Copies of this chain bind each other. A is one copy, B any other.
């Protein structure tokens, strides 16, 4: 099997698993269910993954590595203000619901099924995403763009919480586009709802 074919089959298994885990849950989905949907054998599955748990770990890692990389690029962008970077991270999180929403929902729901070293690696990366977010806000405070009378960690929890929760309700095919949601959210975070 060539390298690109192998990658294609691995991606197919990942995509099919994400769809089944989201619809039926990780515990309720068997490896047999996954290979049946793809019309391949269990041997093919075990060529790419050692277990269903390791496959779930891969889904989690793909999701978190992807948003960490995008976040890093936004924060490193030298020409932008911290307010613009705040918008860019919020928009990135909501925008990628369309392509990665199912992965994220599985990530939030099925973390209980990841154990030991796998779990520690995932949790460390999840924390890293939050710390980077907090760094962005701290830099904005240091730079005089954000107020300095509220703790940066709590502001981070507020903003990140609203964004993470959008994975539970935002519909990419719905009436309000992702950039409009991001605009409204950032307007609330920066300027508040008070008249």
Determine the distance from Cα of A187 to Cα of B168 in the docked complex, in whole angstroms: 25
Chain B residue at smallest Cβ distance from A166: B161
State how many copies of this chain the complex holds.
Answer: 2
List residues of chain B with CB within 8 A of the CB of A145: 194-195
* Number of A residues, CB within 8 Å of B: 45
Within 8 A of B (CB), among A141-195: 144-148, 150-151, 154-155, 157-166, 168-169, 176, 181, 184-185, 187-195
Q: Interface on A for B, CB 8 Å cutoff?
A: 24-25, 27-28, 83, 108-109, 112-113, 137, 140, 144-148, 150-151, 154-155, 157-166, 168-169, 176, 181, 184-185, 187-195
Sampled A-B contacts (21; CB under 8 Å)? A27-B27, A108-B108, A140-B193, A144-B195, A145-B195, A148-B195, A150-B188, A154-B181, A154-B188, A157-B165, A157-B181, A158-B162, A158-B188, A158-B189, A159-B162, A159-B193, A161-B165, A161-B168, A189-B192, A190-B194, A191-B194
